[in-house]
A and B are shown apart, each in its own frame.
Chain A
């Protein structure tokens, strides 16, 4: 696990070492154990390393035997032992025990197709000096980040955008169409990022840069076409899932340092922890978040699981002030505006993990996408059901029961529910049927955009941009699969695995591994009949069938609780941190130019008077504050080659 960076110059010029070292310095937390650079005319590769496999041997950038291939690699190839054995039988000789070297040998043999053999989470760059070609690749689901920008003759790439900004030719400007996307989907649609002319290599894609030309190629896409072809029995699916998830966990325990686990108290992480227990009797450290707010807290279930599975457990206790104190740091790491504060507790949790001497954790991430755990799937099913009989008196009641923690919904009349959930407004013919209520609610935050931003966005329609990217078979998939695709292709890489995943874990040099996102598990989930994932209105039915016997029955039986954190009010508890007032002041809002100062003042007034209610005010506050911080940190006060420490950026907000 590491941070990577590099510059490829089409005109063959030599890359300054200071530039590469500066790119490394920005993300030192991604790889505190070692750093290295490699240069030859036309290419510079950089790497900071968090040593997990072959601690003494896996130095990077690494070369092959004749030094014609050089690699800088972030991530893990979990099937590297099997691949290595295969390569050895075919005559390859290895100098190290690392997974990095396995990629090099595979590339020697199979060229760019080597990525098809990999099972893992990766972002890497290989410089092929004979062909004078740079090859970048990113894992199928987008666990590891990879960004690039093309300036003049140079292709600049890195694990994080802040390293790209070290290059003197790269400008730093917010992309207003990206802002429109984030204020709809909560994240950008790759290859767009929050910044103009900085792009994200989409998950499952590779990029070659040769003779000054960049070509992007898709190596893997999530598709549900197979759902129509299989006729296996439920028992067969249970057996296959059981085998695959066990193996997915097993190969993710490969590490030369101890592995821990995140334990939320929910079904997904409890299953993973129970499977780890099957493979190892040694002490297992688990970690969780406890919230001061009882409606967010899951400690009770966490403790029950800890006792049941006999783990060494630690938790962080998170209240309003913790969120406010760390939020600016989280924005520095996430590099995009965010609609919710939920990544912040995950940032605090990884600090606890690191302080406990653990570098690697397994998590339950991905189960809700692959096996249909999210409420949005149920909501869409109920809305579709209601739409069949709009006059029904009983069907709206299902929506009230779906969100028991939202008191405001339980009281609403049918007419209001019908409106809030867009019943009759969107039909099944809309490819985004499942997600329209969420996206419409989020889009209301655009009311705060300044006139300049609104005019720059003009008639741009982010839904159209997304529609153009949908896979060919999308409209023929069952409704649940369409919703799963949208969730897995957009929010998973754009928010869950990045802002709430890699970026806040790596901030404290912690690598997260996600067994549910083993591509074999994902592909099984995609070809499974929808009713095995959601049976009537029971989520993740197949997971409960396959693994329910090995975990506390209360965890199987409990209703799903979405992971949420204290939002807008965090920033106004007590006196609140100074940077909040500064960032939201009319002067700063005007200077940044993204939002209407009067509208923001009206919002701030609601919070200071204690009259802010519910989700829209919360989302507005968090998204505006995060955008302000982002501009401050990356546009106004960014220091090339300066300190990469987030806290120093927090200080900018405090001092300026």
Chain B
């Protein structure tokens, strides 16, 4: 089940840190690290929806769901369970595009 965490971490490092930094823990807050701005949020949501095939409501856009790798991974898993339980159990939907 670590796969989601590593995919999310890679997405954050590539897209918000432009591969410049990768030293942060899965529990570090994106907000306190100052790495996600308002358009970054849109980018993140678009990635999660496309990559995991989940639907994210406006009411989901709160730091409790999205502010660290761990929180995002838990959020994605919860969504996958609700929307497509079978896919969540087999996990690892698609490989992260290179």
Q: Which residues of A contact B (CB under 8 A)?
A: 406-409, 411-413, 415-416, 419-420, 440-441, 444, 447-448, 596, 598-603, 606, 611, 613-617, 620
B-chain residues with CB within 8 Å of residue A611 when the two chains form the complex: 15, 43
Within the assembled complex, what's the spacing in Å between the Cα atoms of A600 and B20? 9
Within the assembled complex, what's the spacing in Å between the Cα atoms of A653 and B46? 36
Q: Which residue of B lies closest to A596 (CB)?
A: B20
| Majority secondary structure, B binding face | helix
Contact A408 B18 (CB under 8 A): no
| Majority secondary structure, A binding face | helix
A-chain residues with CB within 8 Å of residue B61 when the two chains form the complex: 411-413, 416
Q: Which of A412, A440, A602 contacts B41 (CB 8 A)?
A: A412
Q: Which of B20, B37, B58 contacts A598 (CB 8 A)?
A: B20
* Most B C-beta atoms less than 10 A away, residue of A406, A596, A602: A602
B-chain residues with CB within 8 Å of residue A601 when the two chains form the complex: 19
Within the assembled complex, what's the spacing in Å between the Cα atoms of A600 and B37? 19
Q: Which of B20, B38, B43, B46 contacts A420 (CB 8 A)?
A: B38
Contact A447 B18 (CB under 8 A): yes
Q: Known pairs A412-B41, A602-B19, A614-B37. 8 more at Cβ < 8 A? A: A408-B38, A416-B61, A448-B20, A598-B19, A598-B20, A599-B19, A614-B38, A617-B39
A403: shortest Cβ distance to chain B, in Å? 9
B-chain residues with CB within 8 Å of residue A599 when the two chains form the complex: 18-20
Q: Which residues of B contact A (CB under 8 A)?
A: 14-15, 17-21, 31, 34, 37-43, 46, 58, 61-63
B-chain residues with CB within 8 Å of residue A441 when the two chains form the complex: 37
The 10 closest A-B pairs by CB, nearest first: A614-B39, A599-B18, A613-B43, A602-B18, A408-B42, A599-B20, A602-B19, A413-B62, A419-B31, A420-B38
Contact A616 B46 (CB under 8 A): no
Within the assembled complex, what's the spacing in Å between the Cα atoms of A339 and B92? 39
Within the assembled complex, what's the spacing in Å between the Cα atoms of A448 and B58? 32
Q: List 9 A-B contacts (CB under 8 A).
A: A412-B38, A413-B61, A448-B20, A596-B18, A602-B14, A602-B15, A613-B40, A616-B40, A620-B18
Within the assembled complex, what's the spacing in Å between the Cα atoms of A563 and B21? 34
Contact B20 A408 (CB under 8 A): no
Contact A416-B20, Cβ < 8 Å, known A411-B58, A613-B46: no
B-chain residues with CB within 8 Å of residue A600 when the two chains form the complex: 18
B12: shortest Cβ distance to chain A, in Å? 12
B-chain residues with CB within 8 Å of residue A598 when the two chains form the complex: 18-20
Contact A420 B37 (CB under 8 A): yes
B91: shortest Cβ distance to chain A, in Å? 24
Contact A406-B14, Cβ < 8 Å, known A596-B20, A613-B46, A614-B43: no
B-chain residues with CB within 8 Å of residue A617 when the two chains form the complex: 39
B-chain residues with CB within 8 Å of residue A407 when the two chains form the complex: 42
A-chain residues with CB within 8 Å of residue B40 when the two chains form the complex: 613-614, 616
B67: shortest Cβ distance to chain A, in Å? 9
B-chain residues with CB within 8 Å of residue A409 when the two chains form the complex: 38
Q: Which residue of A lies closest to B63 (CB)?
A: A415
B27: shortest Cβ distance to chain A, in Å? 17
Q: Which residue of B lies closest to A605 (CB)?
A: B14
Q: Which residue of B lies closest to A403 (CB)?
A: B38
Within the assembled complex, what's the spacing in Å between the Cα atoms of A596 and B37? 21
Within the assembled complex, what's the spacing in Å between the Cα atoms of A613 and B42? 8
Within the assembled complex, what's the spacing in Å between the Cα atoms of A611 and B11? 12
